[in-house]
Chains A and B, each alone.
Chain A
Amino acid sequence: MILAPVGWLARVLDPPLRALQRVGGRNGMAIFFVAPNMLIFGIFVLIPLVINFAYSMTGGGALFLGDRIFVGGEQYGRLFDCGNYLEPNSCREDLFWTAVWNTVFFVVLQVALMVGVALITALILNRDLKARSFWRAVFFFPVLLSPVVVGLIWRWILQRQGLLNYMIYELGFDPINWLVERNWAFAAAISVSVWAHMGFYALILLAGLQAIPKDLYEAAEMDGTRPARVFWRITLPLLAPNLLVVLVLTLIRAVQIFDEVYVLTGGGPGTSTLFITQYIYEVGFASLLRNPGLASAASILMGAVLVVLTLFQLGIARRGERRSAK
C-alpha cells in the first residue's frame, strides 16, 4: 500500500531510463547507478576531506575558505607550542594538550576494561546456557540506546541524590558526588561508555568463539586436559584474530569519544573529562573565540592517528582472509 506510489514512480522512470540506456549503453547505466551515491559522497565526504587541509592552513574567524587568510603552518605551530608536552599549563593551547592527555588515559583504561569485560561476557555466553539468546539480548540492549539517552540515564543515577548514592548510603558508606569530583567523573565516563558499547564487542567475540571447531574441545576432553589449559592453548589462540579486531575497533572508537560523555559531564568538572573531539567541537563551533583553522588542524592530527589504526585493522582483516583461504 505505502509502496504503491514508489512502484508507480519506478514504472514512470523506465521509458526515460531506457532512452538513457540506448545512448550510454550498459556502461553508461552502471555510471548512472553509482552516480547518486558517489555524488553525495563526493560533496559531503571527499570535498570536506580535501579542503580540511586548506582550512588548517588559514586563520581568522571567517567561514568560507575564500575569505580566510593564508597562514601556512601557524595553526600547527600553535598546537605544538609547548614548554613541556606532559604539562598542559606550559603550552600555548593548554586545552588541546589537556584534551590529548585525557584522551590518552581514557583510551588506555577504557580499551582494557572494554576488551576484558567483553571477553568474559562472550566466554560466559558461549557456555552451555539455557535461553542463550535471551542473555545475549540482555548484554546487547544498551548498544542501541542513543548517546544522549545513555548520558541522561546515568546523570540521573549518578547525581548527588541519585540511586547509586542511595545504595551506597544503605550499605553504610558516605555518598559520593560522582560527577563533581574529578577522578570519579573520569571513572564514570569510562564505565558509562563501557556499559553502552560492551555488548557490541561481546557479540563479535561470541561469533568468533562459536566458529572454533567443537572437535578440538572434544579431543581435549578425551585427553583429560584441564579447563585452564584448554582456555590458554585452544580458545585464546583461535580467538586471537577476533580479539585483535575488537581491540582495534575499540581503540578507534575510544579516540573519538564524545557524545555520551559530553551529555554526562559536559567535559567537567573543570576540564577533567575534556576529550579531543569535544575540543575540536568547541574551538570550531561553540566557544566565543571561534577558530575554525585551529579546529581543522587538531582534527587532521586526530585523523592521522585514526588512519594509522584503520590501516592496521585492514591489514589484520586481509591477513585473516589469506589464512582462511589457505
Chain B
Amino acid sequence: MRNVSAFLLRRRGGRGWHWTDIFTWFWLIAGFLVMFGPAVWLVNSSFKTPAALAEFPPTILPYVTAETVVEGYDKPLPLYEVKLPDGTVQVLAEVRRIGIVAQMVDPENPGEIIKVNIQDRTPKRSVSFAFDNYVRPLVVNDFVLYLQNSVFVTVMATLITLLTNSMAAFALSKYNFRGRSAVMMLIVATLMVPLSVILVPLYSVISAMGLFNSLWGVILPTVATPTGVFMLRQYMLTIPDELIDAARMDKASEWQIYWRIILPLTAPALAVLAIFSVVWRWNDFLWPLIVLSRKELYTLQVGLNTYAGELNVQWHYILAMTVVTMIPVVLVFVFLQRFITTGIAGTGLK
C-alpha cells in the first residue's frame, strides 16, 4: 500500500508536492468536468422520453415505465411491482390512483380490482433509449429540410470562400498592380466592421437583389472574409517567385499558374481556411435568422432556436436535434482539432 501511494505521489526530479501541483490537478480535473460534462449530459438526456426528462432527481440512464394493454381498458396501463400483504411480489397494472391508494388489476385477471397503498409499489422500469426523439423531428417535422439547408449553405459558402479568397490572395501577393495598396487598405478597414454594425443596410441590399428568403442571401455576404484573404496571402508570400517565372518561360497562362502551381502549394493553408469556414458557416445564427423567414428555408441553428422559443418547449426533440447540430463540429474537433489550434496560435484566426 505504501509503495503504491509512493508511486502515485512521486514527482519527476524527486521533488515534493508543491501547492501549485495540487492546484494544477484540481484545475485540469474541474476543467474536464465543466467543459465536457454539459455536452455529455445533453447527449445523455437526448435519449430520454418526456416522462423521464420530467423526473426529479434526474436519472443517469434513460428509463421508461413498462406499460401493458389490459382487456377492458382503452389506454395502456403502467406496470408496478407490488408487495402484497401476504409478502409475495406481483406485477400489477395501475388503473387509477386516489390519494395514497392505487387501484390496480392483475393483467392476467382484469376483472378483479386490488387496492394497494402507494408505499408498497415501485414502478417497473427498464432501460430504453428513446430513438424516437431523433426520428420524429427528422421525419415528421422539417428538420431534414433544415439539415439539408445547413449542409448546402456550409458547402457552397466554403467552396466560394476558398476560390475567391485564394484568387484575391494570389493577386495581392504575386502581382504589383495599380491599386493594390488601396485594396489592402479596404480589407484592413473592414476587419473593423462586424456584421452586427451593418444589419439594417445589408438587409435592404439583400432585399433589393431579391435574395431575401433565399439561401444565397445567407451565403454571399459571408464569403469575402478578410481574415481568409490575409491568411492565404501570408502563406503565398513564402512561395518563391522563381517558380512563377519558370512557368511563364514555359508559356503557362496566369490562370494556369494560379491553378497548377499556386493552389497546390497553398494546400495546407487552404485546408485550415476550409475547416474554419465549415465551422463558421455551420454555426452562423444572427444573419440566417434575419434573411430566412420561411420555415422550409431555415438552417438547423435557426430551426432549433425557433422550436426552443415556443411557449411549450418540447425538450425531448430539442435535445436530440441539438445533438444532431453538434455532430459535424464534434467530428471536426476529434479529427481536425490540431489544424485549428495551430491555425489560431499562428494567426489569431477565429
Residues of chain A contacted by B344 (CB below 8 angstroms): 200, 203-204
Q: In the complex, what's the smallest C-beta–C-beta distance from A322 to chain B, in angstroms?
A: 17
| Contact in complex: A148, B201 (CB < 8 Å) | no
The answer on a CB contact under 8 Å between B201 and A296 is: yes
How many residue-residue contacts, CB under 8 A, span A and B? 273
1/0 per residue, CB under 8 A from A, across B1-26: the answer is 00000000000100000001001100
Contact with A along B138-173 (1 / 0, CB 8 A): 000000000000000000000000011101101110
A299 CB → nearest B CB, Å: 5
Residues of B within 8 A of A302 (CB): 196-197
Scoring A residues 83 to 118 as 1 if CB is less than 8 Å from chain B, else 0, what string do you get?
Answer: 000000000000000000000000000000000000
Residue picked from B32, B58, B205, most chain A C-beta under 10 Å: B205
Any B CB within 8 A of the CB of A147? yes
CA distance A300 to B198 in the complex (A): 8
Task: Find the A residue at minimum CB distance from B258.
Answer: A33
Q: Any chain B CB within 8 A of the CB of A140?
A: yes
Rounded to whole angstroms, the CA-CA distance of A306 and B195 in the bound complex is: 12
For residues 109 through 138 of chain A, which have their beta carbon under 8 Å from a beta carbon of chain B? Answer: 120-121, 124, 127-129, 133, 135-138
The answer to whether A207 and B202 touch across the interface, beta carbons within 8 angstroms, is no
Instruction: Report if B268 contacts A (CB, 8 A).
Output: no
- Write out, one digit per residue, whether chain B residues 187-202 have a CB within 8 A of any chain A CB (1) or not (0): 1101111101111111
Which residue on chain A has the smallest CB distance to residue B44?
A163
Stretch at the interface among A41-49, A177-185, A232-240: A41-49
Partner of A37 from B38, B168, B198 at Cβ < 8 Å: B168
Say whether A281 contacts B168, CB under 8 Å. no
Q: Are A36 and B164 in contact (CB under 8 A)?
A: yes
Tell me which residues across on chain B come within 8 A of A215, comparing CB atoms: none
Docked pose: A128 CA to B200 CA in angstroms: 51
Q: Are B308 and A263 in contact, with the CB atoms below 8 A?
A: yes
Check if B73 is an interface residue, CB within 8 A of chain A.
no
Mark out the residues of chain B between 302 and 333 whose CB falls within 8 Å of any chain A CB in the assembled complex. 304-305, 308-309, 315, 318-319, 322, 325-326, 329-330, 332-333
| Complex: chain B residue closest to A13, CB-CB | B255
Complex CA gap A135/B24 in Å reads 11
A55 to B170, CA, bound (A): 36
- A52-B198 contact given A149-B326, A285-B203, CB 8 Å threshold: yes
Among the listed stretches B63-71, B85-93, B112-120, B175-183, which one makes contact with chain A, having 4 or more residues with CB under 8 Å of it?
A: B175-183
> Which of the candidate stretches B75-83, B96-104, B122-130, B279-287 sits at the interface with the other chain?
B279-287
Within residues 1 to 53 of chain A, which ones have a CB less than 8 A from any CB in chain B? 10, 13-14, 17-18, 21, 26-27, 29-31, 33-34, 36-38, 40-41, 43-49, 51-52
Instruction: Provide the residues of chain A in CB contact with B301, threshold 8 Å.
Output: 146-148
Does A145 sit within 8 A of B, measured CB to CB?
yes
Cα separation A17 to B283 with both chains bound (whole Å): 36
Most chain B Cβ neighbours within 10 Å, of A48, A139, A170, A299: A48
B198 x A49 contact (CB < 8 A): yes
- The CA-CA distance from A55 to B188 in the complex, in Å, is 24
Q: Are A47 and B205 in contact (CB under 8 A)?
A: yes
One of B220, B326, B348 near A204 (C-beta < 8 A): B348
**Closest CB-CB distance, A38 to chain B, in whole Å?**
6
| Contact status B196-A258, CB under 8 Å | yes
- On chain A, the residues within 8 Å of B178 by CB distance are 27
Task: Please tell me if the beta carbons of B224 and A156 are within 8 angstroms of each other in the complex.
Answer: no
Cβ of B18 to closest chain A Cβ, rounded Å? 8
**For B45, what are the chain A residues with a Cβ–Cβ distance below 8 Å?**
156
List chain B residues, Cβ under 8 A from A195.
34-35, 38
Report if A65 contacts B (CB, 8 A).
yes
* Complex: chain A residue closest to B226, CB-CB: A41
Q: Which residues in chain A, 144-183, are within 8 Å of chain B measured between CB atoms?
A: 144-149, 152-157, 161, 163, 166, 169-170
| Residue B259 at the chain A interface, CB threshold 8 Å | yes
**Is B246 close to A, CB under 8 A?**
no
Scoring B12, B58, B199, B338 by chain A CB atoms within 10 A of each residue's CB, the highest score goes to B199
Interface presence of B186 (CB below 8 A):
yes
Residue B238 CB within 8 A of the other chain: no
- On chain A, the residues within 8 Å of B201 by CB distance are 47-49, 51-52, 55, 296
Q: Return A82 CB to nearest CB of chain B, in Å.
A: 23
Q: Is A277 engaged at the interface, CB distance under 8 Å to the other chain?
A: yes
What's the nearest-Cβ distance from chain A to residue B43, in Å? 10
A199-243 interface code vs B (CB 8 A; 1 in, 0 out): 110011011000000000000000000010000000000000000
* Residues A63 and B197 in contact in the complex (CB < 8 Å), given A17-B255, A30-B175, A149-B325: no
Among B35, B45, B309, B340, max chain A CB count under 10 A is at B35
Q: What are 24 A-B residue pairs whose CB atoms fall within 8 Å in the complex?
A: A21-B255, A27-B178, A34-B168, A37-B165, A37-B167, A37-B229, A38-B168, A40-B224, A44-B205, A46-B186, A47-B205, A49-B193, A51-B204, A124-B23, A137-B333, A140-B340, A141-B36, A145-B39, A145-B283, A146-B325, A148-B325, A152-B318, A203-B344, A285-B290
Q: Which 7 A-B pairs have the closest CB atoms?
A: A146-B283, A30-B175, A33-B171, A37-B168, A48-B201, A207-B345, A30-B177
Query: Beyond A37-B164, A137-B333, A148-B301: 11 further Cβ-contacts under 8 Å?
Result: A10-B255, A26-B175, A27-B178, A43-B220, A45-B193, A47-B201, A141-B333, A148-B325, A161-B58, A281-B286, A299-B198
